[in-house]
């Protein structure tokens, strides 16, 4: 085999299935045949994605192949810090992922991998021979004898280099240290303003490895009894459900406006945080959970506000475990984060706004939970330990300010009850693999809801646990929550009781419900309070009207009130000279004019023009986002084999115009042309002209650069734009 493309075409079904599972992007969209699959595998974008998903050991092995120019396990093992057997396994894994390809002389690094790793793999500079630089005769001794300041400067450049700018002040401490390192042969001067660490020096500073050995953790992560962890996680989960329930009530009462740029105003966020006695970060998390569970939404009115949805009552009627899962599952798969990169303009990201969307957080959230799940049950690692383990799993995809992001994810998990005391609970562990089982496990741990309360003479009620939905609804309407915990305390106030009466309750209904749930008779002070509030409730009446009709002549209004052609307006007399109607002013005007009346439209300043100034339109609803799932690798392989058979049949039939050329995207065409140019092979290409006609040409590519391919056709120089090339087949 001469190239990666030939290696992929020669692979067995099992090897191709493994490749498609390791690199699922190769099957989206479905390639026509194995040639198209190989072309896509050798594109820079696909190769970069595959390299970015390597863990630290596999990445180190790949970088060692690039640094040494060898794929021999014995050669690369010392650079990775593993034995020869483990190095051979790493090389086999990289070959299975098509980052190495099998030649007659052994595995070879794919050309695109070299481009992706860049000119300085693992941050190592060029070799001393390439730089024409003389190294110290005894490099280990020279490094060991360095003063502390020079050693610190050399270590910093090695870790963040390999190049560095010469300090502007040559007489400063750093300037003198850099000059001394250059004199000692440990740094090479690229020019008057830059220095570089030779590869040999960089490896020596790192102890002969591409990546320095990870530091041992100072302390072993604390471990707790799994039952204690479950109890703490269960308490957090039930507390979360209660907090979201309380927040929804406060949000419904506040009716916060939606900002013009989207999201919730800082003032409203602080008001909600004060009412539920939490900080702004915790309140933002609760709001995001409510939004993810569709309990809260923008009403899209002309003056939009954040409103509760019709899902709320159904959610409140669920058992506590199912209410928790309705919040936790959207959080697990959400693209929204409570900690996001700051905007470029340095502004603030408002809660509930689109600025909270940060797509990398979903994969990051899953990996943090997988790290916790891989530890022994009850282990509670700190943020630094989780960041270290995360770097081992995804060294090229670490988020900016990883400590802050990981700490926020761990706090979210603790608030949701996914973790307890910093360790993953039993139902949190199940959440990653079986969401239904996680809900069932939590249901086993959560105490049964209680249907009793203790009424006290000081106008308070104590509920010893989670109330059943009916009791919770009554308390939510008629009392104010004073404290949460294992037993919640509710206080009956005039304002809260008016809310129950506004909802349609009567004093007798409310007292009867309280007596039914109470183990003792209703205290007399509470009975007096309920009846006193009910007696004064409704002495003033407020209603709504779409329009009113006023006239100084009561007789005229009485005639209109009985007119049979105005029955649809539902006119109602509220004063001798005033009628009201639920219809709007325009409808009322038109109806009166149809019966021969001559009304005028009245505003706050007198008669106004009734000429319409414009019409309103219904806002367009957003389309649902469909999740695209990759097809199973075996099904993709069957379609590839069928496409390969058709291509082989066309090649066997032969054609004077050359072989059949499959349609390829520009990236795949570019990759195949690079392969052909590197191996000095001809390629059949399809090229479209200015009018859309396609020609077949036997092309000898020489270079691909700047969106164009340069080569020869019939020994004549030719250059084609890649976007005009419909497909490529390497000849021979």
Span 448-486, pLDDT tens digits = 888 888 999 899 989 888 888 888 888 888 888 888 777
Q: In sequence order, which residues have a C-beta less than 8 Å from that of residue 368 and are 6 or more positions away? A: 386, 390, 406, 409, 410, 413
Question: Which among 237, 289, 284 has a CA at the least distance from the CA of 420?
Answer: 237
Domain pair 4-123 / 642-730, same fold: no
With cut-offs at 50, 70 and 90, classify the pLDDT of residue 345. low
What is this structure's pTM?
Answer: 0.75
* pLDDT at 216 exceeding the cut of 70: no
Q: What is the pLDDT of residue 330?
A: 92
Using one digit for the tens of pLDDT, what is the confidence trace for 399-434?
888 889 999 999 999 999 999 999 999 999 999 888
Asked if 548 and 580 touch (Cβ cutoff 8 Å), the reply is: yes
Asked if 264 and 351 touch (Cβ cutoff 8 Å), the reply is: yes
Q: What is the pLDDT of residue 191?
A: 84
In this prediction, residues 234-243 reach a mean pLDDT of 91
Q: Helices then strands (H, E): number in the chain?
A: 31, 23
Q: What is the pLDDT of residue 600?
A: 75
In this prediction, residues 181-207 reach a mean pLDDT of 88
* pLDDT at 86 exceeding the cut of 90: yes
Classify domain 642-730 by CATH number: 2.30.30.100
Helix intervals (H) in 23-68? 34-41, 44-52, 56-68
Instruction: Quote the distance between the C-alpha of residue 6 and its chain's center.
Output: 38
Q: In sequence order, which residues have a C-beta less than 8 Å from that of residue 195 and are 6 or more positions away? A: 157, 163, 164, 166, 178, 181, 182, 187, 188, 189
Sketch the domain layout of the chain as residue ranges. Answer: 4-123, 128-206, 228-445, 454-536, 547-601, 642-730
* pLDDT at 619 exceeding the cut of 60: no
Neighbours of 143 (CB within 10 A): 17
Asked if 477 and 503 touch (Cβ cutoff 8 Å), the reply is: yes
What single DSSP character describes residue 264? B
Q: What is the pLDDT of residue 608?
A: 57
At 70, list the tokens: 């060898």
Neighbours of 271 (CB within 10 A): 15
Ramachandran angles phi, psi of 318, nearest 5°? -80, 165
Q: What is the pLDDT of residue 87?
A: 93
Q: In sequence order, which residues have a C-beta less than 8 Å from that of residue 576 and are 6 or more positions away? A: 554, 557
Q: What is the pLDDT of residue 615?
A: 33
Asked if 258 and 292 touch (Cβ cutoff 8 Å), the reply is: no
Listed in order, strand segments (DSSP E) in 422-487 are 423-424, 454-455, 460-463, 480-483
Q: What is the pLDDT of residue 227?
A: 92
Q: What is the pLDDT of residue 240?
A: 92
Instruction: Quote the distance between the C-alpha of residue 316 and its chain's center.
Output: 27
Angstrom distance (rounded) from CA 241 to CA 286 = 9
Report the percentage of the chain scoring pLDDT > 90. Answer: 23
Report the percentage of the chain scoring pLDDT > 70. Answer: 91
Using one digit for the tens of pLDDT, what is the confidence trace for 552-573?
888 888 888 888 888 888 888 8
Q: What is the pLDDT of residue 618?
A: 33
With cut-offs at 50, 70 and 90, classify the pLDDT of residue 286. very high
Q: What is the pLDDT of residue 267?
A: 93
With cut-offs at 50, 70 and 90, classify the pLDDT of residue 1. low
In this prediction, residues 521-541 reach a mean pLDDT of 83
By the 10 Å C-beta count (0-12 exposed, 13-18 middle, 19+ buried), 326 is classed as buried
* pLDDT at 217 exceeding the cut of 70: no
In this prediction, residues 512-533 reach a mean pLDDT of 89
Q: What is the pLDDT of residue 629?
A: 56
42 versus 32: which is more confidently predicted?
A: 42
Angstrom distance (rounded) from CA 248 to CA 599 = 46
Angstrom distance (rounded) from CA 233 to CA 510 = 36
Using one digit for the tens of pLDDT, what is the confidence trace for 377-386?
899 999 999 9
Cis status of the peptide bond prior to 162, with omega within 30 of 0: yes
Span of 276-290, 534-548, 686-700 with lowest mean pLDDT: 534-548
In this prediction, residues 223-237 reach a mean pLDDT of 92
Neighbours of 619 (CB within 10 A): 10
Sign of CA dihedral 669, 672, 676, 677: positive
Angstrom distance (rounded) from CA 212 to CA 388 = 13
Q: What is the pLDDT of residue 624?
A: 43
In this prediction, residues 527-533 reach a mean pLDDT of 89
At 295, list the tokens: 């309990």
* pLDDT at 658 exceeding the cut of 70: no
Class of domain 128-206: mainly alpha
Average pLDDT over the chain reads 84
Please write down the HEC assignment for all residues of 180-245.
HHHHCCCCEECCCCEEECCHHHHHHHCCCCCCCCCCCCCCCCCECCHHHHHHHHHHHHHHHHHHHH
Q: What is the pLDDT of residue 402?
A: 87
* pLDDT at 732 exceeding the cut of 70: no
Angstrom distance (rounded) from CA 641 to CA 620 = 45
CATH of 4-123, one of 3.30.479, 1.10.10, 1.20.1070, 1.10.357: 1.10.10
Q: What Rg do the C-alpha atoms of the chain give, in angstroms?
A: 37
With cut-offs at 50, 70 and 90, classify the pLDDT of residue 368. very high
In this prediction, residues 204-224 reach a mean pLDDT of 75
* pLDDT at 617 exceeding the cut of 50: no
In this prediction, residues 592-615 reach a mean pLDDT of 64
Please state, in angstroms and as integers, the Cα–Cα distance from residue 727 to each residue in 42, 371, 656, 662, 670, following that order: 15, 44, 18, 6, 10
With cut-offs at 50, 70 and 90, classify the pLDDT of residue 137. confident
């Amino acid at each position: 085999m001469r190239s990666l493309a030939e290696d992929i075409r020669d692979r067995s079904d099992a090897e191709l299935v493994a490749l498609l599972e390791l690199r699922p992007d190769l099957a989206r969209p479905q390639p026509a045949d194995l040639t198209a699959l190989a072309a896509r595998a050798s594109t820079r974008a696909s190769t970069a994605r595959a390299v970015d998903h390597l863990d630290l050991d596999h990445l180190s092995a790949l970088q060692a192949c690039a640094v040494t120019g060898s794929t021999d396990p014995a050669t690369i093992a010392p650079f990775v810090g593993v034995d020869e057997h483990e190095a051979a396994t790493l090389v086999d894994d990289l070959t299975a992922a098509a980052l190495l390809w099998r030649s007659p002389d052994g595995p070879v690094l794919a050309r695109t991998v070299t481009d992706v790793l860049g000119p300085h793999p693992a941050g190592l500079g060029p070799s001393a021979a390439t730089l024409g630089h003389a190294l110290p005769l005894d490099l280990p001794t020279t490094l060991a004898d360095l003063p502390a300041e020079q050693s610190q400067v050399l270590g910093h450049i090695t870790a963040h280099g390999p190049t560095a700018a010469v300090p502007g002040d040559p007489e400063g401490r750093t300037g003198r240290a850099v000059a001394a390192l250059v004199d000692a042969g440990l740094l090479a001067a690229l020019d008057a303003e830059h220095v570089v660490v030779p590869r040999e020096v960089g490896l020596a500073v790192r102890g002969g490895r591409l990546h320095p050995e990870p530091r041992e953790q100072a302390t072993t992560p604390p471990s707790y009894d799994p039952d204690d962890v479950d109890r703490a996680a269960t308490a957090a989960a039930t507390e979360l459900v209660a907090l979201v329930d309380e927040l929804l009530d406060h949000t419904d009462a506040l009716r916060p406006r939606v900002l013009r740029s989207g999201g919730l105003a800082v003032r409203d966020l602080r008001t909600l945080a004060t009412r539920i006695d939490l900080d702004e970060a915790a309140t933002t998390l609760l709001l995001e959970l409510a939004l993810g569970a569709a309990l809260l939404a923008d009403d899209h009115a002309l003056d939009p506000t954040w409103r509760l949805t019709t899902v709320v009552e159904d959610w409140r009627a669920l058992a506590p475990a199912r209410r928790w899962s309705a919040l936790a599952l959207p959080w697990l798969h959400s693209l929204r984060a409570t900690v996001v990169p700051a905007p470029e303009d340095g502004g603030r990201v408002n809660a509930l706004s689109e600025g909270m969307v940060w797509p990398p957080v979903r994969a990051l959230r899953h990996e943090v939970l997988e790290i916790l799940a891989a530890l022994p049950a009850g282990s509670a690692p700190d943020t630094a330990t989780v960041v270290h383990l995360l770097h081992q799993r995804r060294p090229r995809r670490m988020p900016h300010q990883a400590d802050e992001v990981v700490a926020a994810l761990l706090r979210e998990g603790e608030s949701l009850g996914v973790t307890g005391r910093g360790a993953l609970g039993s139902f949190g562990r199940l959440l990653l693999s079986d969401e239904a089982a996680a809900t069932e496990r939590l249901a086993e741990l959560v105490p049964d809801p209680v249907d009793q309360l203790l009424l006290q003479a000081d106008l308070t009620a104590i509920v010893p646990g989670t109330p059943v939905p009916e009791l919770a609804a009554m308390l939510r309407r008629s009392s104010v929550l004073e404290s949460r915990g294992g037993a919640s305390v509710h206080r009956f106030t005039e304002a809260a009781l008016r809310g129950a009466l506004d909802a349609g309750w009567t004093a007798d209904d409310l007292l009867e419900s309280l007596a039914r749930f109470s183990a003792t008779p209703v205290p007399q002070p509470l009975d007096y309070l309920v009846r006193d509030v009910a007696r004064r409730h409704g002495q003033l009446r407020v209603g709504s009207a779409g329009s009113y009709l006023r006239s100084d002549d009561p007789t005229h209004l009485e005639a209109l009130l009985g007119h049979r052609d105005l029955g649809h307006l539902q006119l109602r007399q509220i004063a001798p000279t005033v009628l009201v109607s639920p219809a709007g002013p325009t409808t009322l005007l038109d109806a009166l004019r149809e019966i021969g009346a001559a009304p005028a439209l009245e505003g706050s300043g007198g008669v106004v023009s009734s000429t319409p100034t414009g019409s309103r339109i219904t806002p367009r609803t957003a389309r649902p986002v469909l999740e695209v799932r990759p097809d199973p690798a075996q099904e993709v392989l069957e379609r590839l084999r069928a496409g390969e058979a058709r291509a082989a049949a066309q090649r066997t039939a032969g054609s004077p115009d050359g072989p059949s050329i499959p349609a390829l995207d520009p990236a795949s065409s570019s990759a195949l042309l690079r392969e052909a140019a590197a191996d000095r092979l001809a390629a059949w290409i399809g090229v479209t002209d200015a009018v859309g006609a396609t020609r077949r040409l036997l092309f000898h590519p020489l270079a691909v650069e700047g969106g164009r391919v340069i080569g020869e056709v019939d020994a004549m120089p030719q250059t084609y734009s890649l976007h005009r090339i419909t497909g490529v087949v390497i000849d021979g």
